Amino acid sequence: MPRFAANLTLMFTEHPFADRFDTAAAAGFTAVEFLFPYALEPGAVAERLRRNKLDLALFNMPPGDWEAGDRGLAALPERAAEFEAGLATALRYAEACGAERLHLMAGMADKADPAARRRYRDSVTRAAEALGARGIELVLEPINGRDMPGYFLDDFDWAASFIDALGLPNVKLQFDLYHRQILHGDVVTALRRMMPMIGHVQVASVPSRNEPDGEELNWPFLFDALDRLGYAGFVGCEYRPRGRTEDGLGWFAPYAGRRDGAAGAAP
């Protein structure tokens, strides 16, 4: 069965961020992820993970000024110095918390712009080398333009081709089923084709981005498909609960407390 990681940025928001680690563990999660940990000191994050025996599935490198509209710096040539500073910060947190995987956001840029494409390649290469020296994976996530208009990385096939051409062993695809369905559909066929390069999976219902228990996608079928395809990584729950988080965890009950990854033969 898949091993789910509670996304503490979107889930359990009834509680202060620092308390969500405790609440997620009490709900049966054995792993967590979050967008940004930077409001807490690295040691404070590490202590909350440790006391709750939680694994850290993923977090994002600094995106720039989120409140001002920044959604990453990797494809922005004029923000190279900030990107370097953010990389150093992310590494500090990763080392303190034992992170094995970081997500690099591309930023708001035109994918057809040669300067943005060059900068993105240089940024990904730089981050991958710095993370790889510490045994950490770098994941890249295509994001749909309805949620994030103007985002540079907005196509799964382009992302897969980019990763393949880059040829760096620790650069992987972050496959968010919510974004895939909105951008392209054909979710399971894409999972089959892209599985060798997938480093992280995320889920949310489509179109509402709520609990993965209904709407457009057949969630039991998709969770079984991840098993059949041999996916053994984390499945991040990057959804917005319809109400109180604990009240919407009926879908999660069969998986609570699982620490083993999925494994199986590809169909």
Question: What is the CA 257 to chain-centroid distance, rounded?
Answer: 21
What gap in Å lies between CA 13 and CA 206, rounded to an integer? 21
What gap in Å lies between CA 204 and CA 184, rounded to an integer? 16
141 counts as catalytic: yes
92 vs 7, 23, 38, 85, 87, CA distance in Å? 21, 25, 11, 11, 9
What does the DSSP 8-state code read for residue 204?
-
Say which of 33, 100, 211, 238 is annotated catalytic.
Answer: 238
What gap in Å lies between CA 86 and CA 37, rounded to an integer? 13
Tokens of 37: 């940990």
Say which of 141, 211, 215, 246 is annotated catalytic.
Answer: 141
100 counts as catalytic: no
**Three-class SS state of 141:** coil
What does the DSSP 8-state code read for residue 78?
G
**Three-class SS state of 30:** coil
Residues 6+ apart with CB under 8 A from 128: 138, 166, 168, 170, 171
Q: Which residues are the active-site residues?
A: 141, 238
